[in-house]
Structure 1
Amino acid sequence: MVTGVGGSTGLSLSRQLRDLGHWVLGVDMRPVHGSAADAVAVVSPVDTPGYLWELRGLVAAHGIDVVIPTLSGELVAAAAARKDFAPGAEMLIAEPAPVSIATDKYLTMKCLANVGVAVPDFGLPGDFSSMNEAMARMGGWLVVKPRVSRGGRGVQVLERHTDGGRNAERIWRTLDDSWLVQRFATGTEYAPMVYRSGEEDRGHVVVVLEKAEQKYGRWGRAGSLRRLEPSSASDVASTAAAAAAALGLSGIVDMDIRRMPDGTPVVLEVNARFGPNSAYAPELLHLTMKPYAVSQVAGGP
């Protein structure tokens, strides 16, 4: 089962899994085209009290062995229910505590900073008397984002150049401490993906993608991605691996990393799930699914 199969992450995973010979049930809160998976089902939104029980019912009805959650809004609940989620089915997600920390972007920054993993200067709106103070302390442009959000929704860059800062001031006045404030890292942005087994003797695998042609010049959704050779971004890869280890995450971890003006890579946020770019690193899905023999799951229930 792949959740959120109507979105880019879920649809990509469904296609990859089917290419590997797995039978896939895709679920989404909205109707999706039948070609998205071998079978599709409509379920309630992730914040509905009975959401996980709906998934359990589908697991039983279709004989599902593996559940892959892809939606940010379901991760904390899915992690809390990962032990004995349903008879014969495994929920592919990390332990509850690391997932909860990664879901809260402020806690993520605090945890990483405490153990020496590089992050941009950060704080809560309440830590500053004004936007001007925040800009002065952080050295210029700011990024503000909800501490808990779905994907990149709500992320905004505050600057004073285009209109004297009037729009930035308007946005700042709406913020409370449910938001994170970060220094804007002006360098190249990367989308590293980490597979971490959680066992020291098995190590980890990191694939680094470079973002290019971003929507708003230096920020926004990337227009194109390029997979880098390990030697050309070894510092980004080591930072990503250190972040996943510091948070105690296992399985697949999707991240955003940027370079500061001096070239230092800093972690912007961490997602305890597959991201939308997993097709660029098919070996990570192979590692994730290796314990599950195709002969056991191919051909449908």
Structure 2
Amino acid sequence: MGPRILVTGIAGAAGRAVAAQLAARGIPCLGSDARDVTRQGEDATTAAAVRLLPATDPDMVLDLRRLVDREAINVIIPTLTVELPVLAAARAGFGRDVRIIVGDPAAVALANDHLFTAWALQAAGIPVPRFGVPGDLAAAPASLADLNGPVVVKPRTFKGTHAVHLLAGTGSVSWKNLPAGQLVQEFIPGADYVALVFGTPPRNAMAPVAVVLEKTRTPYGRAGSDEVSRRVPAAEANDVRKLGLAAVRTLGLTGPVQVQIRRRADGTPVVLGVCPTLGANSTWAPELLDAVLATFMLPAFNPASFRRCPAIPADALG
């Protein structure tokens, strides 16, 4: 029996992109979203779409479970960042016959918070921008010495690119007046990439997948900042590819992951953030969805078997 697939976030760009890729493979899917999904227009990428409770609602998992039972769903592909921690925590409650393409709860929790991600990667020796939180910067202004020049201020949990702000400098900022839950990050001016990685357990039959995309260089928070200009050939940007793989392995993430990477002025790549789901950019890397579908047919692949790696693999940054 083939997979009966549910794609969440179908009203968004990522959900539509995943549904279109499934349709191109001749695989039907059901879509769901907390937003209005009644107006599909000319887009026939999904056979049907239903409205569910948002991830912030305590009964969202119950709502989703009822849909899964009613429609005999056996594969759930989440595309909304906000729902990943909820689905990771609830994954075991859906039974053995339902595969949710989301990582281990602890790893997803690390990736969901930009501060936790930076701490974990920095501790493992993975290069990240210099960073801090407004409370620490207000209490110890001397720590701003490492954040001279432009800085990025963004929520610790993803709230869209409109919530990310680029500041020309730190001299006139009142850190104590910034809202809670913000991360201050050194601005990295160089080439902008996203490494699309499908992480697999070390002793699994599937090899990890890593595809590098180069993004259009536009200011933070502006429309088009996530547009992809090209898929980087395998012979190029190998250091970016290895860094993406190392970040995924270090955090212990499973399945599809987007790793945001930029180069410093000297060319060194650093990890800006990690999102463990298929995004709209997956259209450029059909290998990612192929790997997702392969997990349905490969019982040996068990996302729960992934655990945080205590050190960077020996060849990860070589």
TM-score bracket for this pair, using the shorter chain length: 0.7 to 0.9
Q: CA deviation at 1:272?
A: 1.1
Partner of 1:271: 275
Q: Deviations over 1:201-231 (max 9, x none)?
A: 5441110001124256999714442100122
1:142, 1:203 → 2: CA distance?
37
Unmatched 5+ stretches in structure 1: 294-301
Instruction: Give the direction of change, closer, same or farther, for the CA distance of 1:207–1:105 in structure 2 (3 Å limit).
Output: same
Partner of 2:199: 196
The alignment partner of 1:269 has SS state of: strand
Task: Indicate which of 115, 120, 132 corresponds to 2:124.
Answer: 115
Size of the aligned set, in residue pairs, is 287
The alignment partner of 1:129 has SS state of: helix
Partner of 1:297: none
Partner of 1:298: none
Task: Indicate which of 1, 14, 30 corresponds to 1:9.
Answer: 14
The alignment partner of 1:277 has SS state of: helix
Say whether residues 1:29 and 2:34 are aligned partners: yes
2:221, 2:52 → 1: CA distance?
38
The correspondence of residues 199-278 of structure 1 with structure 2, limited to 5 A, is 199-201=202-204, 202-215=206-219, 221-278=225-282
Deviates more, 1:196-205 or 1:211-220: 211-220
2:286, 2:168 → 1: CA distance?
38
Partner of 2:56: 47
Is residue 12–residue 276 contact of structure 1 (8 Å, CA) maintained in 2? Answer: yes
Deviates more, 1:198-207 or 1:268-277: 198-207
Partner of 1:182: 185
Is residue 135–residue 142 contact of structure 1 (8 Å, CA) maintained in 2? Answer: no
Q: Deviations over 1:1-23 (max 9, x none)?
A: 01100100011001111222222
The alignment partner of 2:92 has SS state of: coil
Is residue 186–residue 218 contact of structure 1 (8 Å, CA) maintained in 2? Answer: no
Deviates more, 1:140-149 or 1:82-91: 82-91
Deviates more, 1:53-62 or 1:222-231: 222-231
Instruction: Give the direction of change, closer, same or farther, for the CA distance of 1:285–1:271 in structure 2 (3 Å limit).
Output: same
The alignment partner of 1:94 has SS state of: coil
The alignment partner of 1:261 has SS state of: coil
The correspondence of residues 52-63 of structure 1 with structure 2, limited to 5 A, is 52-63=61-72
Q: Deviations over 1:242-294 (max 9, x none)?
A: 0000000010011210011111100000001112200000011101102436x
- Pairwise CA RMSD: 2.4
1:237, 1:115 → 2: CA distance?
17
- TM-score of the aligned structures, taking structure 2 as reference length: 0.83
1:188, 1:131 → 2: CA distance?
32
Instruction: Give the direction of change, closer, same or farther, for the CA distance of 1:132–1:220 in structure 2 (3 Å limit).
Output: farther
